[in-house]
Structure 1
Amino acid sequence: MKRKILGWTVLLVSVFTVSSIKVNAEGDSEIISGVDVSVTREINGVDPASYTSPIMTRSGLQEVKVDIDKWEEEIKKDYLNDNPNFEGDVSIISMEEYEDGKQPEEYKNRKLEELLESEQDNIVQARGAAQTGPNLTHGAIAKAYLFFDNGRGGLIMADGSGFKVSGTKAGTAGHCVYDKEHGFGWVKTATLNFGFRKDPRVGWIASSVYKVNKMTTNNDWIKSKDHTQGIRSDFGSFHISRSSGSVPPNVAMLTTPPNSLKNAVSWGFEAKSRYLTRSTVDVTTSYIRSDWFNWVYQDRLGIMYGGMSGGPLFDGAGRVIGINSSEMNDANRTKVYTKINSSAYNQIIAN
C-alpha cells in the first residue's frame, strides 16, 4: 500500500523508550513506558497449507502451487468463524475499489482470482532510476496480501510488501498491519508470498508461502493524529511461520543509519504488477516536520508505487536502513521512508 498525504501538522512528543509489559482488555500485549507502546495482535488467520501444494520445477527447485479458489474459500470461512452471527455472502474488493466508493456487496459473485487478474497487469516498465519487470528478483522480499474487515461482511484486500529478517519475523510498514486512513484498524488476515507469480503452464505459484500468526506495531503509530503525523513511526512486523516451499534468505538491518546516502535502493511489489520494482534513490534526513525527530528519509526523484509500502530501503551493503512509507502530495511528490532506528530494529527483530 502507498499513502498520498494531503497535509502536514505538528505534534511534539518524547522519544521512544520501552520497559514493562501488560495485557489490555482486548487481549493485546503492550510494552509500556512514556509515550511509546508496542502493541502485538495475535490472529488465527488462514493456514496456507490448506490451499497450497508442493511442485517441482524443471530446474529441480521445489515451489508451491497456490489454489486461489481454495484460498478464497478459507478466507471466507475464517471470517464466518469469527463472526458466527453474520448472515449473507462474504465479499472481497480491493482497497483501490473501496477508495473509489465501491462496496463489497456489489461484487458478491466475483471470484478472488478475477480480482487478482484485474489487478495484475504484468507491468514491465522503466521510469528514471526505477525498473519493474520479471528479471528483477530478491528472495527476501515478499508480496503481502492484507485483508481488512469493514464490519459488514466485506473484506478489503490491500497489497503491501515485507522483508524477511529471521525464520519467524518479517519487517513491514506500520500501516500494513494497522490501518489509520480508513479506520479499519488491524489486518484481519494476511499472507506473505515470496516469488509469487502466475505461470502459464501451472497457474499461480510461489517459491514459498508464510502464515502470519501475529502482527506488531507501535502505539506512536496507532495513536498519531493522522498518517502524516505517524510517518516517523510507520514501522511494524509480521510474526510468521513457513507453510510450504523453500526457505528465503534473511536481510540485515542497520540500527544507526546515515543522515544521507546516495544510490540507496528501494524495493517493493507494485500493486498492479506481479513483479518487483527496484528504485535507486538519493535519500536525506527529512526536515519537513520538526516532530519527525530526524527519523525519516526523503527523496524527490525516486519511484514509490502503490504496493511498495513496507518494502526495504537498502544501503550499498544490502542492509535495511529504512522502510517504504509514503508519497507526499506536495509539488515534488516527495517520497518518505521511515528510518530503522533502535526502536524499529528492536521491535521488528524481537517483539
Structure 2
Amino acid sequence: MKFALFSLVAHYGGGSQHERLRRVIDEAVFAEELGFDAYGVGERHGEPFLSSAPPVLLAAVAERTARVRLLTTLTVISVLDPVRVAEDYATVDQLSGGRLELMIGKGNDPRHFPLFGLEEARQWEYQEEKFELLRRLWYEEEVTWSGRFRPPLDAVTTQPRPFTARPRIWHGSASSTESTELAAKWGDPLFTANGFHPKRKYAELIDHYRRRWVDYGRDPADALVGSGAGGLYVAKTSQEAVDGFRPHFEALVKTPAYQHNRSEFTTLEEKIAGGSALVGSPQQVIDKIADYHASFGHQVQAVSVDGLGAGEARDVLELFAAEVMPVVRRELPSAVWG
C-alpha cells in the first residue's frame, strides 16, 4: 500500500486564512518527512474551504519538497476550461520535475455550478467532454477539436508541455457509474472517495469499473484503484481516538458538503462502526484498512487531517506513520509509484 495525505483546506476558524493556507505547505513538507508517498490538494469553491486555487498551492508545495508525488484531489473539470487546466498543471508538473498526477471529476459540491454559470443537470456531460479534451491537450500536439461547451480549437499545442510524456490521470468516483465508465473506457485509474456512505456503495462502483475494464479488452491485473477514508484519528487507545475525533465530526456534520451527501451516519459511533473513518488505536486502523482492501483491492490509501488543530494533526500523523504505515506496506504491497 502507498499512502497519500490530502487536504481540502477546510477552515473552521481558529486562526487567519493566511495561517491556514501556509499550513498546507508545512503539512506537505511534514508528510514527505514522515514517508508519505503523495500529497494532494482538493478543489472547492465555497465555505468553509480555501482550496479554490490548487495549482497555486501545489506549485508552492513543489518548491518545498523533493520526493513526494503531487496530486489534485480532485480537479473539478466539469466547471473548468480544459485549456487552462492543461496549462496550469503542466506548469506544476514542470516545476516539480514530473511529480504531478491529476485526479479529475465533476466535484461534490453543487454550489460551484451556479458560481461558474453552468447547469448542474449537465454536470456529467461537462465532465466527459472536458476530460476528453484535456486528455488530448496533454497527450497530443496540434490538437484540432470541436465540442459543445467551449469554442473549437485548430492545431493547438498548449504550453508548457507536461514534464513527462503521459502524466497519469485518475478519475474520482463517489456516486455514479458515469465516472467508473469513463475511467475504464480510457484505461485510467480510479480513486474512490469512500467518505460518506457504507462500504458496499463504493465497492459496487469499483466492481463496475473492473468489469468494464475487462469489457474494453484490458488485463484485469492492470486496473488501478485508490481510496480515500472518512477521516483519520489514530491514538494509543481507542477511547482517546474517539474522544479526539468527536469535535471534528460534530463540526463536519454541519457543513453543506456532509448534508449534501446525505450520509447514513448521524453519530460518530455509527460512522466508525459502519463507515470508513480510520479512528482508533493503531491496530484498529490497520485492521480497517485491510478490511476495505479485501473489498476494494486498492493500492493507494489517502487520508486527511483537515479540521484538526495543527499540533493535534502532527501527533496523529506521526503515530500513523510510525505504527500503521509500515505494517500495512508490508502486508499489502503496492506496485504503483515504483
Instruction: Determine if the TM-score, normalized by the shorter chain, exceeds 0.5.
Output: no
TM bucket normalised to smaller: under 0.3
Q: With the length of structure 2 as denominator, give the TM-score of the two structures.
A: 0.27
Could you state the TM-score of these two structures normalised by the residue count of structure 1?
A: 0.26
Higher strand share: 1
Of Structure 1 and Structure 2, the greater helix share is in 2
1 or 2 for the larger relative contact order (CA 8 Å, sep ≥6)? Answer: 1
